[in-house]
Amino acid sequence: MRQPIVAGRFYPGTERACQTHLERIDAEPASAEELPAQLVAAIVPHAGWDCSGHVAMEVFRTVEPRVPPGATFLLFGAVHRFGVARASVDTGDAWHTPLGPLQVDASLAELLLDEGGGLLIADSGSHNAEHSIEVQLPMIRHVFGDCPILPIAAPPRADSHDVGCRVAEIVQRAGRQVFIVGTTDLTHYGRKFYGFAPAGTGRQGLDWVKTENDPRMIDLMRRLKAEEVVAEAAEHQNACGAGAVAATLAAARQLGSTEGHLIDYTTSYDVVRDPLYGETVSDFVGYVGMVF
């Protein structure tokens, strides 16, 4: 069983504390009138719950009535370290969360590896030091109960969209019920922590991220431009999970989605401004929730 690595830091490490925190960041679903009847995928942020948990919970509450009972949550995770060569499927038994374990869908993992044409590899080790999928799982268990999962680490490769398309094709042929979740944060801005401040520091940098840099990536998500995501992120540093985004968009498109719908957008500055930043605009990160 894969044990948590950021419990107690990115989110609480005990069941009671987890439940209390989830109640605090829980959210109302987006208006159903503005969304299609069928949703097949979502993109959520993966920072600590204090910063981005409310955005993720709003997405999960929005898709809650549209996820088929018994569906496997197939998660494309961001990769924050070197050494993950290809999209890597976890083939372990389960992932532990403070709310209880979630079982890995072993039959779906085997199917994707057998028919993936070399685009996916079996590598549970790629997930051991990565938090992007882990932080979603207590939220998923809280909203959807004891459901099967399939974590896939998706590095930002030129073939990331092919991975998503192939996964969706295999799922369709097999008649499997899945819901796709991709994880990414957006622009990491600031000189102190991120070494990235092309629009200067202070309020002008924040405005640039919110009105120009992050909207570039959000627009690609909205238009399902999976093939453009990795290059966009490489040039403008506006997604740390570009591979996961590209795979999610391609999979959503293959599963019948025609556009993305913005559920929420914010930044760490806006969420924790008073306790952390005061009146100073310093290093911050963008967060988006989308459904497809």
Percentage of the chain modeled with pLDDT above 90: 91
Is it the case that residue 33 has pLDDT exceeding 90? no
Q: Which residue has the higher pLDDT, 33 or 248?
A: 248
Residue 136 belongs to some domain of the structure: yes
Question: Helix and strand tally (H, E) in the chain?
Answer: 10, 11
pTM of the model: 0.96
Query: What is the arithmetic mean of pLDDT over 184-204?
Result: 95
Give the Cα-Cα-Cα angle 141, 137, 181 (nearest 5 degrees): 105
Percentage of the chain modeled with pLDDT above 70: 98
Q: What integer pLDDT is reported at residue 274 of this predicted model?
A: 64
Counted domains in the chain: 1
Residues 105, 26: Cα–Cα separation, whole Å: 27
- Express each pLDDT in 48-94 by its tens digit: 999 999 999 999 999 999 999 999 999 999 999 888 989 999 999 99
Query: Where do the H-state alpha helices sit in the chain?
Result: 15-25, 54-63, 106-115, 137-144, 160-174, 203-208, 214-222, 226-236, 242-254, 268-272
Computed over every residue of the chain, the mean pLDDT equals 96
- How does residue 179 score in pLDDT terms, banded at 50, 70 and 90? very high
Residues 203, 135: Cα–Cα separation, whole Å: 30
Is it the case that residue 174 has pLDDT exceeding 90? yes
CATH number of the domain that residue 261 is part of: 3.40.830.10
Residue 102 belongs to some domain of the structure: yes
Is it the case that residue 276 has pLDDT exceeding 80? no
- How does residue 264 score in pLDDT terms, banded at 50, 70 and 90? very high
Residue 2 belongs to some domain of the structure: no
Query: What is the arithmetic mean of pLDDT over 210-221?
Result: 98
Query: What is the arithmetic mean of pLDDT over 208-228?
Result: 98
Query: What is the arithmetic mean of pLDDT over 197-223?
Result: 96
Residue 241 belongs to some domain of the structure: yes
- How does residue 279 score in pLDDT terms, banded at 50, 70 and 90? low
Residue 157 belongs to some domain of the structure: yes
Residue 219 belongs to some domain of the structure: yes
Residue 41 belongs to some domain of the structure: yes
Which H/E stretch holds residue 25? helix 15-25
Q: What integer pLDDT is reported at residue 96 of this predicted model?
A: 98
Is it the case that residue 285 has pLDDT exceeding 90? yes
Residue 10 belongs to some domain of the structure: no
Q: What count of other Cβ atoms lies within 10 Å of the Cβ of residue 265?
A: 18
Residues 185, 200: Cα–Cα separation, whole Å: 21
The domain of 61 spans 15-291
